[in-house]
Amino acid sequence: MLRPGPLPKHYQLSQILRQRILQGEYPPGSKIPGEWNLSQEYGVSRGTVRRAINTLLHEGLLRTEQGQGTFVVEEPWRTRPFLSLSNFNEEISRQHQQPKTTLLECAILPANASIAHRLKVNKNEPLIYIARLRYANDQPIVYERRYLAQKLCPGLMEEDLEHQSIHQLLIQKYHLPLIRTIHTIEAHVLNDDEASLLQTQPGETAFYIERLTYTLIEGNEYPAVWYLAIRLGEEYTFCIQKMSGNGLN
């Protein structure tokens, strides 16, 4: 059920519905309950339900059919594989492979001019920097880095960052509503250092992924996490911004 606190109700509901989809309660191709039914089940307005559903429509997990209702997309994660790398373990497990994460570095760094501009913080403000390798069957396939202001989650460096989702820690433990995400993904040619980390050859084609995630603090929107990753794969390039038609998700 929905919890009292700073997380918007539509955001909490979208998280619950997403989990029900990923756990197979609403299998691919199935019709989800209508707005009225969901509003009764969770004790929220139909407008709140509509915003939660809009979030999942923009993520590619749901689709609508005129006059028929809202349905779970068939094989949604194969259609939009990069929408949530916080679900890396689930994604790899669905491919019948063994996921693993190795923490390469976790440190406090002063924000340089470029990062300060990106995260809208003061230059030299303390940032948490996290670098990790993500594996499938002991083959590294993602080299990822994150920057976020230390003041948002001062205890994050003490967490087990190899066995816990950073995304879920920010939401559940540090109560940061992650309301909007901008992804950019483009083709990338690995240099020597990147190829060494990913145990492949320099010049190999990969994807460069950049993701800026926003939070809500006292009713105002702020960039919270700048995520950069290089991922081996063969999918196409796209850029998305998740936003509902009536406001932020």
Tell me the pLDDT tens digit for each residue of 6-59. 667 887 888 888 878 877 888 888 999 999 999 999 999 999 999 889 888 876
Domains and CATH numbers, the chain: 9-76 (1.10.10.10), 81-241 (3.40.1410.10)
pLDDT digits (tens, 9 = 90+) for 190-246: 999 999 999 999 999 899 999 999 888 777 788 999 999 999 875 433 444 443 333
pTM: 0.64
pLDDT digits (tens, 9 = 90+) for 123-161: 999 999 999 999 999 999 999 999 999 999 999 999 999
Please provide the DSSP assignment of the chain as one string.
---SSSS-HHHHHHHHHHHHHHTTSS-TTPBPPPHHHHHHHHT--HHHHHHHHHHHHHHTSEEEETTTEEEEPSSHHHHSTTS-GGGHHHHHHHTT--EEEEEEEEEEEE--HHHHHHHT--TT-EEEEEEEEEEETTEEEEEEEEEEEGGG-TTGGGS-TTTS-HHHIIIIIS---EEEEEEEEEEEE--HHHHHHTTS-TT-EEEEEEEEEEEEETTEEEEEEEEEEEE---PPP-EEE--BTTB--
